[in-house]
Amino acid sequence: MSDIQRKGPYKSRPSNTKRKPSFSKPVIASGSQSRAAAALCVNAVEEGNSLSTALPMYTKDLDDRDRAFVQEIVYGTLRHKRLLSTTASELLDRGINQRFNQVRTLIICALYQIIFTRSPAHAVVAATVGACDLIKCRKFTGVVNAVLRRFLREGAHLIHSADPCVEHSFPKWLFDELSQTYTADEVIEIMKNSNVHPPMYLRVENSKISTEDYLKCLEKKEIGATAVEQCPSAVLLDEPEHVSRLPYFEQGYVAVQDVSAQMAAPLLDLKDGMRVLDTCAAPGGKSAHILDLAKDIELISCDIDEKRLEETKRGLSRLNRNPELRQIDASESLSSLEGEFDRILVDAPCSGTGVIRRHPDIKWLRRQKDIEKLVETQAKILDNAFAKLKKGGILVYTTCSILKRENIEQVRSFLTRHTDARLLPFIMNGNEVETYQRLPGELNADGFFYARFIKE
C-alpha cells in the first residue's frame, strides 16, 4: 500500500518571479501507513473477508517489521472488537456514516494500541490522524484527533459491560451455542482463553531427531523451550520465534503445529506397511506426522481445494515427505480411490471455534446457519470414509471445534447409521476415554475433539 499523494495549497510569489507555482505534499506521520493498513484489514473482515485474504492484500508493500506490526494490531482489535467499539461509541458525539466506516475502524484500532500495546499514546494519535488521508477520509482528521485526545484526557480506559458477549467480544449466537453445552463459568473461560495470544508449539520429526536432542539444539541458539509430557513429539517455545531462527527448520527436522493437532495421528495406531488415507489433508501437518510415525506406509492425502493442495505439497516437500496427493471432495465420493484402507483420518472441515485465538476473524465471519451445513458435510465425509475402511480398520475423527453438534452429537449420529462401527477407547491425559473434548487453554493448547472408531 503506497502513500496517497495530494496536491497542497498554491503559494503566491512576488510578481517579478518567473518560477512555476509549487505544490507541497502533506506530511504523513511515521507509522501512518501501518495504521491505515490495519484499519483496512479489520474493515475487510467486517465486510466478510478472511484475514488470510485481507492481510496479504493490504500489507504487500510493507516490510517484514511493519507487516508484523499490522498483524498485531489487526488480531488484537478483532479479539476485543465489541468492547473497543462500545468505548468508541461513547467517545463519538454522533455516529459515523456507514460509508465512512473505515474511520470508525481507525479509531478502534487506535484504542487497542493505547490500551493493550506499549506504543506511546502520542505516537498512536499522530499516526492514526495521518492515516485518515491514506484511507481517503481526510475530512475526518479533526474528528479522529479530537476523539483520541478526549480518550487520553479522560483516563484512557475501556468502558466495560455486564453483557459477557460485549465484555469478551463474542457474537451472541456463539455465546448461546456454547451455553447449551457448558456451564456459565466454562463459557467465560472459553471466551477468555479464545482472546489470548496463542503459544508456539513445534512438532519434532522424531524419525530424524529425538525431542531431547532438538531441545539441546534450541538451547544452543538461546531459544527457551520445554517438552510436553502428554505428547512426545511436542515442544513449547517460551516465546514465539520466526522460523528462520529455528535450528534445522529448512532441513525438515521440525514443523510448527499446535500440541492438540499433534495428538491426532498417534490415535491411528499405525503399523509399518499399512495403507492410510487422510481425507481432508490441507495444510498437511497431520499427513507429515503420519509418515513420521511409521515406515513404508502407503499414504494418500486428499483435499477439495487445489490451491491449498499446492501449499500442502510445498510444506511436505520441506519435510521430505511425499504422499500421493489427490484433489477430491470427500463429501461427494471417494470412489475414485481404489481398494480399502487400514487406517483413515477424517480431520473434518468445521466451525474452527476451538482455534479462535489463532484466527480471531472466525468470531466475526462464522454464522449460526453455517453450523448446520458443516454438520451435514462432516456426516457425508464420515460415511464415505467408513465405506473405504477395511474390516478391523480404524477411523479417527477430529475437529478443531468445541460445539457439540459437530462433535459428540456427530459421533452419536454416525454410530446410529453404522451398526458395524463401534467406538475404540484411547488414552488421553492418562485416562481411558471413548471421545475427548479439549477446550481452548487446556494444556495451553487449542480446542480440539477426538473420536476413534473400529469397523467390526
- Rg (C-alpha) for the chain, rounded Å, is 26
With CA atoms as reference, report the closest residue to 114 among 102, 98, 125, 126. Answer: 125
Establish whether 231 is a catalytic residue: no
Q: Which residues contact 10 (CB under 8 A, 6 or more apart)?
A: 21, 23
Three cell numbers, residue 148: 483520541
Cα–Cα distance between 423 and 397 in angstroms, integer? 11
One-letter amino acid of 213: D
Three cell numbers, residue 50: 478472511
In this structure, are residues 357 and 193 in contact, taking their beta carbons and an 8 Å threshold?
yes
| 41, 280, 302, 400: the active-site residue | 400
Q: What b-and-e string marks burial along 241-264, b requiring 16 or more CB atoms within 10 Å of the CB?
A: beeeebbebeebbbbbbbbbbbbb
**Alpha carbon of residue 12 to chain centroid:** 55
| Alpha helical stretches, state H, 183-275 | 184-194, 211-220, 259-262
What is the phi/psi pair of residue 242, to 5°?
-70, 140
Cα–Cα distance between 272 and 279 in angstroms, integer? 20
In this structure, are residues 273 and 265 in contact, taking their beta carbons and an 8 Å threshold?
no
One-letter amino acid of 232: P
Please identify every residue annotated as catalytic: 400
